[in-house]
Structure 1
Amino acid sequence: MTDLETHVAPPRPGALRRAAPALLGYAAARLLGLLVLAVWSAARGRSAHTLLTARWDALWYARIAGLGYGHVVRLPNGDVHSDLAFFPLLPWLERLVAAVTPLSYADAGLTVGLLASLAAAWGVFVVAELVLGRRAGICAVLLWGVLPVAVVQSMAYSESLFTALAAWSLYAVLTGRWVTAGALALLSGLTRPVGAAVVAAVWVAAVTSFVRNRSAGTGDGAQNLRRALGMLLAPLGAAGYVLWVGHRTGRGPLGYLDVQAGWRNGFDGGYAFARFVAARFASFPSALAGLGLVLGVAAVIWLYVTGARQRQPLPVLVYSGVVTALALCASSYFGSKPRLLLPAFPLLFPLAAALARLRTSRAALVVGGAAAVSAVYGAFWLNGSGPP
């Protein structure tokens, strides 16, 4: 599929069998990452399990799962960190898993994250297969699993859960399953604020599909009803949570923005990030980091533009564009940007297409080398500053 329209694809037999090489390769890459993390952490006298389940955002999710919302941390500088900044689907699933198993909330979060990462990998495959073909679809999954910050996919974080919901919602859109697409978009909106990207993809695809069918004189009332229902469902998750936060804080629709402001987070069009990058060039050692940031942003933009030139389907471009814009234009937590870009998996499609054109032996060498680098970097990262 190479044009920018949404198509209804025919059913694909043996879906899991077709995805098996991608899933096995992905699992191998993540297993390597976890093994290296375990060895590295043990050498430093630290627990890899703790790093994966009981630090940073994972602590907030586990606390919400066990005690509900209401925890606030007031920092000496006046910042107010409220747990209302964290969307509820992952804590709900942690509570559910902990209720039916002997696992703690933290371990339940890790279990959800690991299972969701496999579902996400499968979702990346089915979308990439539709857009690029099976071989490139396998390559896309492998590339997603060996990103430098791919260790986050194996943590008690919400990135894997969100990516799984987003990918399968995109697949539903591309195959004309409007109600399923809307329901998955609803769930993605209960997982992370960037669920807005999935909603945008569903709405753009639905509107363009309706206009195209109307112009061609095709479609029927039942299809229009399903499309409208999908559009109605899509924003309910994010909107419902934001309105609930507004009611709880007494600030109405602005309540969630106030909560984010307490974390010094927001959307400023990239101004703060640009200032942060510019400040790196004030001295020679940090100038190298600044140059790396500039090259990284340029690479992300190049990948997106290349995907557009390759005529990726419109909902895929809308989704990856909104995820990228929200990640790059956030006004704080600049070290988190690689992690925030993890759900933007369609950015990897141009690289996957190029990798798919290589001979299998060369492609395996590239992926194997990237997996080793990812494993080492992930262990170094989590034993250092880690994902904020």
Structure 2
Amino acid sequence: MTDLGTRPAPAPTRAVRRAAPALAGYVAVRALGLVALALWSAARGTSPHTLLTARWDSLWYTRVAALGYGYEVRLPNGDVHSDLAFFPLLPWLERLGEALTPLSFADAGLLVTTLASLAAAWGIFAVADQVYGSRAGVCAVLLWAVLPVGIVQSMAYSESLFTALAAWSLYAVLTDRWLTAGGLASLAGLTRPVGAAVVAAVWAAAITSYVRDRRALPAGEVPALGRVLGVLLAPLGAASYVLWVGRRTGQGPLGYLDVQAGWRNGFDGGYAFARFIAGKFTALPSALVGVGLIIGVALIVWLFVVCVRQRQPLPLLVYTGVVTALALCASSYFGSKPRLLLPAFPLLLPLARALARVRPSRSAAVLGGVAVVSAVYGAFWLNGSGPP
């Protein structure tokens, strides 16, 4: 695999200048998506502000921020939807924003998401730039922005916050900043259950770094203390919340799994998803959807194989593998799987490298066209009946 830390991290001022084109492009793409959403919503008589801040998961986060944990909904079929399923970092930040500004909890969540999406874009650029150079970094950010589900990056959801923490934790690993990597991994673990992917990436990188140093250091020399502390710090966020939920529910360390089961969420190796796809092949219109899902899954697997063949750094491969496996192999609401894959940005690096090799005018035309399609799809998607 590519060595960690291919070059030292740039100075802060130079880092800002280097990332500026990627961030400017990202802002332009997100602005296009919001304009499309506003126009579509106006035509349908819906509120884009409500769609971004006060529907689906965003309502649960806002309720936790305002009232704390303890709310649940019992459905007629016996399922129990508990707010304990939602990790606390985003509600904490919403509460902080409401306390420090005139904003409501919902609008504070939108502000957090906006800032987090910019931090995520910068983190994706930093990782791609560190491994493949600045042109690939710009293309990676723009590809992440123009994903069909990219509108989620502008919602009061936790994906942008999680992606920002994950990307910068991975960047810290690549530049041998172990305490920073562990701290950000711990915060990622307080944001979403998939924070386990960041922890796994930090641990995998630390183990390989330790083995490498043991071969290079004189006999008996103690490995870097920062690396050890980073490894110990990484899982604390997720472990603390899961143990707290277990104590609150009285179900012990596995209590969080019971909470997720109430939402029909679990890990079944992809069996439920496979049945869902197979169920589409009952009539011609739905069969086309089934074919599309198969092609989509095959594309994701192919991209991961390309990442391996291109020898991406080990922490990126571990992180991407865990995020992808948890998204595709969970028995959760199937319409949310594209959103669950949003943090798996290293899958985009092979495409970013390919775009970086063509003429800028051609890559700009490709990305611009995809951005328009993505903006229209995002507006249509959010104005639909189901949650993203």
| Equivalent residues of 1:268, 1:331 under 8 A apart | yes
Cα distance in structure 2, aligned partners of 1:4 and 1:356: 19
**What is the CA distance between 1:386 and its match in structure 2?**
4.7
Displacement, 1:135? 0.3
Residue 152 of structure 1 aligns with which residue? 152
What aligned pairs does 1:1-388 form with structure 2 within 5 A after superposition? 3-7=1-5, 9-13=7-11, 14-217=14-217, 224-388=224-388
SS at match of 2:73: strand
In structure 2, C-alpha distance between the alignment counterparts of 1:289 and 1:5, rounded to whole Å: 41
CA distance in 2, matches of 1:386, 1:186: 32
Paired residues of 1:339 and 1:387 also in contact (CA < 8 A): no
Shift of 1:35: 0.6
Structure 1 gap ranges (5+) = none
Q: 1-side partners of 2:30 and 2:92: how far apart?
A: 25
Aligned residues: 386
Q: 1:298 to 1:96 in 2, by over 3 A?
A: same
- CA shift, 1:247, in A, is 0.1
List, as ranges, runs of 4+ consecutive aligned residues in structure 1 with deviation greater than 6 Å.
218-222
- 1:218–1:52 Cα change, 3 Å: farther
Tell me by how many angstroms 1:131 deviates: 1.4
The runs of 5 or more residues in structure 2 that have no matched partner are: none
Q: Distance in 1 between matches of 2:45 and 2:73?
A: 29
- Verify the 8 A CA contact 1:213 1:219 in the aligned structure 2: no
Residue 279 of structure 2: SS of its match in structure 1? helix
TM-score (structure 2 length as normaliser): 0.98
Deviation at 1:5, TM superposition (A): 3.3
Whether the 8 Å CA contact 2:6–2:131 is kept in 1: the answer is: no
Alignment root-mean-square deviation, CA: 1.3
One-letter amino acid of the structure 1 residue matched with residue 173 of structure 2: V
Please give the alpha-carbon distance, in whole angstroms, between the structure 1 residues aligned to 2:219 and 2:122: 30
- Decide whether the 8 Å contact of 1:87 with 1:192 is kept in 2: yes
Shift of the alpha carbon at 1:223?
5.3
- How far apart are 1:221 and its partner, in Å? 6.3
1:38/1:206 CA distance change after superposition, 3 Å: same
Contact 1:62 1:105 in 2 (8 A): yes
Distance 2:6 2:368 in 1: 35
Instruction: After superposing the two structures, state which structure 1 stretch, 215-224 or 99-108, moved more.
Output: 215-224
Compute the displacement of 1:210 (Å): 0.4
- Relative to 1, partners in 2 of residues 1:368 and 1:218: Cα closer, same or farther, differing over 3 Å? farther
Residues 296-330 of structure 1 show CA distances to partners (whole Å, capped at 9, x for unaligned) of 00000000000110000000000001000000001
> Does the residue aligned with 2:281 lie in a helix, a strand or coil?
helix
Distance 1:105 1:199 in 2: 30
Q: Do the aligned residues in 2 keep the contact of 1:8 with 1:176 (CA within 8 Å)?
A: no
Q: Distance in 2 between matches of 1:110 and 1:275?
A: 36
Matched-pair contact (CA < 8 Å) for 1:146–1:367 = yes
Q: 1:220 to 1:59 in 2, by over 3 A?
A: farther
Q: TM-score normalised to the size of structure 1?
A: 0.98
Post-superposition Cα deviations, 1:57-115, rounded to whole Å, max 9, x if no partner, equal 00000000000000000011111000000000000000000000010000000000010
Tell me the percent identity. 75
The answer to whether the 8 A contact 2:5-2:130 is kept is: no
Displacement after TM superposition at 1:4 (Å): 3.5
**TM-fit CA distance, 1:337:** 0.5
For 1:173, the aligned partner's letter is V
Give the direction of change, closer, same or farther, for the CA distance of 1:133–1:199 in structure 2 (3 Å limit).
Answer: same
Q: Map Cα deviations across residues 167-200 of structure 1 (whole Å, 9 max, x no partner).
A: 0000000000000000000000000000000000
SS at match of 1:191: coil
Query: What whole-Å deviation, never above 9, does each CA across 1:248-295 have from its counterpart, x for those lacking one?
Result: 000011110000000000000000000111111121111000000000
Partner Cα distance (1:218, 1:147) in 2: 48
